[in-house]
Amino acid sequence: MSTRLDPATPPYRVLPPTAVDDLTAYERAGGGSGLQQALARGPDATVAELARARLRGRGGGGFPIAVKWRRVRDAARRRGEPAFVVANVAEGEPGSYKDRHLLETVPHVVVEGTLIALHAVGARQAVIAVKERNDRGVGRLRDALAEIRAAGWARADDVEVALGPDDYLFGQETALLEVLEGRPALPRVLRPDQRGLFAGLRAANPTAVDNVETLAHAAAILGGDANRFLRTGTDATPGTILCTVVGDVARPGVRELAAGTPLRTLVVDLAGADDILAVLGGASGAIVTDDQLDTPLEYDAMRSAGLELGSGGFVVVDHSRCIVQVLTTFVRFLALESCGQCVACRVGTTEIADRLHRIDQGSGSRVDLERIAARARWLTDGARCRLPGGAERLVVRALERFGDTIAAHVGTACRARPIRTPLIDTLDPDTGEVVWHPGYDSGVPTHARRRGMPR
């Protein structure tokens, strides 16, 4: 198995050019030195080095890792409670495969990054959380952890692998903690540093939940790559970003690009898209239109353009598709995957999905369109998590950019080439072949909660 090397290959890379077979190969390539450095420096200097590198979380929000780790560590110390670390490999975003690609290619770096977090935060235990469905990655991860334990890496016995359900919300950090405690994936009100793993009435057990790509960068930075990391990317977001491109492109796949690379380089030059109606940044990252393809792949630049970098997963749709159907598919995904704890989703996201479906089927009216626009305006009010923010961005953006097309669709059934929910089950790194999640074949996922959504 090989990782595609792009013409725009940056000098700093977290993905090795080929899959790492075992711990010996990983160590031969310099693996393990990040943990050694973290142990030699001690927690405070480790976090200081990550602050110097300005490493931002790659799970979607771009939050500085050093701020998070200091917060968790300080809160645990102040309260005299244990801290915990959770490595997030849930990856349920449509169009994203980068975390699983990392896990399948080099699982040792996931364990190493988790061990660094364990030491830096001063945690009692670390958990690597991954979907049970991802059997390929789970197998690689378990083998890597067993090798690392056998090699006697410091505190490797305090790292566990936990398998989770096939829910989008499993990746939301507080819902993830609920799952690890044996409950359904329902987001909490308080952040993980305020109410962490196995928290009780009095104990908060501050917890750091980190995306695995973030942890892999932490291992590379501490292992001696800090200056190369800082020379790559932008001032606001140094380093590289793992991106996935799928959909109507010639060469789908996962690619590692310097942060700040224009989106056009990824979807046109590397993935070979030659006819673009829109690019969807997963279900949470908004709709990018042709005039925005030069937006840099970087958190702040994307936000300034009204977009979200999210998990760096992009779905390209060409002009054989219908924007109403595209929008319906993505918003319905969010509605189906929401948990119903807040009015935002129970009423808002669900109603928008319903009305969009009617317009898509040709039975919608002008009233549906008006209600969709009105609902989208308060969609995130009182929401416990950021899931409906995705629906809001999708709808507001689509109405802005494709308002006339959507209005013209009212009363007309869709005859465009159908689009399916682009949730990736597997992505072959050599051929780019994508296997889609079969749970959405009928448009309705087969797992978990059913609430009578339109088929």
Ligand X SMILES: Cc1cc2nc3c(=O)[nH]c(=O)nc-3n(C[C@H](O)[C@H](O)[C@H](O)COP(=O)(O)O)c2cc1C
Residues within window 312-371 making contact with ligand SF4, judged by CB under 6 A: 338-342, 344-345
Place of tokens 């958990």: 127
Residues within window 174-203 making contact with ligand SF4, judged by CB under 6 A: 187
Structure tokens at 338: 């929401």
Does the protein bind ligand X through residue 330 (CB under 6 A)?
A: no
* Contact of residue 61 among ligand SF4, ligand X, none (CB under 5-8 Å per partner type): ligand X
* Contact of residue 341 among ligand SF4, ligand X, none (CB under 5-8 Å per partner type): ligand SF4
Nearer CB in complex with ligand X: 172/380: 172
Residues within window 201-220 making contact with ligand X, judged by CB under 6 A: 209-211, 214
Total residues interacting with ligand X, rule: CB under 6 A: 22
Report strand pairing: 287-288 vs 123-131.
Answer: unpaired
How far is it, in rounded angstroms, from Cα 286 to Cα 171?
19
Task: Pick the binder of ligand X from 31, 59, 296, 388 (CB under 6 A).
Answer: 59
Nearer CB in complex with ligand SF4: 23/383: 383
The sign of the CA dihedral 169, 170, 172, 176 is positive
* Contact of residue 58 among ligand X, ligand SF4, none (CB under 5-8 Å per partner type): ligand X
Q: Which of the 8 DSSP states describes residue 417?
A: P
Task: Pick the binder of ligand X from 129, 169, 218, 257 (CB under 6 A).
Answer: 169
> Phi then psi for 48, rounded to 5 degrees?
-60, -40
Nearer CB in complex with ligand X: 94/296: 94
- Whether residue 101 contacts residue 111, with contact meaning beta carbons closer than 8 Å, is answered with no
- Whether residue 218 contacts residue 117, with contact meaning beta carbons closer than 8 Å, is answered with yes
Does the protein bind ligand SF4 through residue 387 (CB under 6 A)?
A: yes
Place of tokens 């450095």: 37
Name the minimum Å distance from CB 277 to ligand SF4: 28
How far is it, in rounded angstroms, from Cα 31 to Cα 104?
16
CA 230, 236, 237 angle in degrees (round to 5)? 60
Distances (CA, A) of 1 to 6, 23, 98, 101, 147: 16, 17, 15, 11, 20
> Phi then psi for 380, rounded to 5 degrees?
-95, 0
Nearer CB in complex with ligand X: 81/166: 166
* Contact of residue 342 among ligand SF4, ligand X, none (CB under 5-8 Å per partner type): ligand SF4
How far is it, in rounded angstroms, from Cα 28 to Cα 265?
33
* Contact of residue 388 among ligand SF4, ligand X, none (CB under 5-8 Å per partner type): ligand SF4
Place of tokens 């001696």: 224
Rounded to the nearest angstrom, the gap between the alpha carbon of residue 388 and the centroid of all alpha carbons in its chain is: 16
Does the protein bind ligand SF4 through residue 125 (CB under 6 A)?
A: no
Does the protein bind ligand SF4 through residue 385 (CB under 6 A)?
A: yes
Residues in touch with ligand SF4 (CB under 6 A):
187, 338-342, 344-345, 383-385, 387-388
Residues in touch with ligand X (CB under 6 A):
57-61, 63, 88, 90-92, 168-169, 171-173, 209-211, 214, 385-387
